[in-house]
């Protein structure tokens, strides 16, 4: 399964170097966007909002903003990387090398996780400047950050294999991830939604990602933590084997 460690390490290095070669796009853009979100929604608008509990509105929205960026960054990293490798036919370099499918999948996924965490770390530093960075459960915080980045890195690989044009890379992000994130409670407690919508939101996995990381940071619990962890593990394993099966079939890469 995994034995070519030098090859795996080299692929990860390549992914990191690709991220570093376009820092404005890969890191600075999400940091600036998060800074504006935190300033406008957290500080300016948030100062006028009172919410129940011992925390401010900026404390409440920060975990959601962090999760939103972890998702979009890790997804964007692998989807672009895989699609670009297909577009230039450079993926053939990997296909002819003595690398297993798992080694290729792990390398891309680790690359996506690293980008997600790099973006997340920058946002956390910005949050410190606004005195909004707290962590109640470090273990859970790391689990949610890494596991959700991994899930969306894997989702990015699927889209990178499926896409027939650069435009298609953003389809899932625009039509699925963004609405589900906003409806998953990034800016508000789901209690503010109508009762029937709340039931639907409980079927939205993004709600568990956001609620989970919020719990790990400020201790506010809207979802069942155990259920959230189980859901994340199921998605992670399911996506992992799904991507493996796509590679096995040669979907999008081998004719």
Partner 1 sequence: MKETTQKSVPALEITDLTKRYEKATAVDKLTLTVQQGEFFGFLGPNGAGKSSTIHCITGIAKITSGSIRVFGYDVETNYRIARAQIGLAPQEFNMDIFAPTWKILDYVAGYYGMPSEERKIRIDELLERFELKKHRDKQFRELSGGLKRRVMLARAMVHNPKLLILDEPTAGVDVELRHELWNYLRELNKEGKTIILTSHYLEEVELLCERVAIINQGTIVADQSMAAYTKGGKRLEETYLKLTKGLHA
Kindly tell me which of 88 and 245 has the beta carbon lying closer to partner 1: 88
Kindly tell me which of 107 and 181 has the beta carbon lying closer to partner 1: 107
Backbone phi and psi for residue 243, each to the nearest 5 degrees, phi listed first? -65, -40
Q: Select from 12-20, 179-187, 196-204, 235-243 the region that touches partner 1 (CB under 8 A).
A: 12-20
25 lines the binding site for partner 1 (CB under 8 A): no
Q: Select from 7-15, 134-142, 167-175, 217-225 the region that touches partner 1 (CB under 8 A).
A: 7-15
Kindly tell me which of 21 and 196 has the beta carbon lying closer to partner 1: 21
CA-CA-CA-CA dihedral for 178, 145, 124, 65, to nearest 10 = 20
Query: Rounded to whole angstroms, how far apart are CA atoms 178 and 202?
Result: 17
Out of 32, 92, 166, 192, point to the residue binding partner 1 (CB under 8 A). Answer: 92
Kindly tell me which of 77 and 214 has the beta carbon lying closer to partner 1: 77
Query: Rounded to whole angstroms, how far apart are CA atoms 219 and 143?
Result: 15
Contact 144, 213 (CB under 8 A): yes
Q: Which residues lie closer than 8 Å to 127 by C-beta, 6 or more apart?
A: 38, 62, 66, 133
21 lines the binding site for partner 1 (CB under 8 A): yes
202 lines the binding site for partner 1 (CB under 8 A): no
Kindly tell me which of 9 and 179 has the beta carbon lying closer to partner 1: 9
Number of residues counted as binding partner 1 (CB under 8 A)? 27
90 lines the binding site for partner 1 (CB under 8 A): yes
250 lines the binding site for partner 1 (CB under 8 A): yes
100 lines the binding site for partner 1 (CB under 8 A): yes
Query: Rounded to whole angstroms, how far apart are CA atoms 215 and 100?
Result: 38
Q: Select from 24-32, 92-100, 160-168, 193-201 the region that touches partner 1 (CB under 8 A).
A: 92-100
* Least distance in angstroms from the C-beta of 96 to partner 1: 5
Say if residue 146 is exposed, middle or buried (CB neighbours under 10 Å; 0-12, 13-18, 19+): middle
Kindly tell me which of 155 and 169 has the beta carbon lying closer to partner 1: 169
Minimal CA–CA distance to 104: which of 255, 240, 234, 238?
Answer: 240
98 lines the binding site for partner 1 (CB under 8 A): yes
93 lines the binding site for partner 1 (CB under 8 A): yes
254 lines the binding site for partner 1 (CB under 8 A): yes
Query: Rounded to whole angstroms, how far apart are CA atoms 192 and 221?
Result: 15
Helical (H) or strand (E) element with 119: helix 101-129
Chain Cα centroid distance, residue 148: 5
């Amino acid at each position: 399964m995994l034995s070519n460690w030098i090859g795996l390490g080299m692929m990860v290095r390549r992914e990191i170097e690709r991220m570093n070669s376009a820092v404005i796009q890969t890191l600075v853009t999400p940091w600036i966007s998060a800074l504006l979100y935190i300033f406008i929604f957290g500080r300016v608008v948030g100062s006028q909002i009172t919410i129940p509990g011992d925390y401010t509105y900026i404390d409440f929205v920060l975990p959601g903003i962090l999760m939103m960026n972890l998702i979009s960054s890790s997804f964007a990293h692998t989807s672009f990387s895989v699609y670009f490798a297909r577009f230039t036919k450079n993926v053939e370099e990997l296909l002819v090398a003595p690398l297993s499918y798992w080694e290729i999948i792990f390398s891309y996924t680790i690359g996506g996780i690293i980008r997600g965490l790099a973006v997340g770390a920058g946002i956390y530093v910005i949050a410190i400047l606004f005195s909004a960075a707290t962590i109640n459960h470090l273990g859970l915080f790391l689990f949610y950050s890494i596991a959700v980045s991994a899930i969306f890195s894997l989702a990015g690989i699927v889209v990178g294999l499926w896409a027939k044009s650069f435009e298609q890379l953003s389809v899932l992000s625009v039509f699925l991830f963004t609405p589900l994130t906003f409806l998953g409670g990034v800016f508000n407690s789901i209690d503010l939604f109508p009762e029937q919508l709340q039931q639907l939101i409980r079927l939205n996995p993004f709600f568990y990602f956001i609620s989970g990381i919020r719990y790990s940071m400020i201790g506010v619990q809207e979802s069942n933590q155990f259920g959230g962890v189980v859901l994340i593990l199921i998605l992670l394993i399911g996506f992992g084997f799904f991507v493996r099966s796509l590679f096995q079939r040669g979907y999008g890469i081998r004719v």
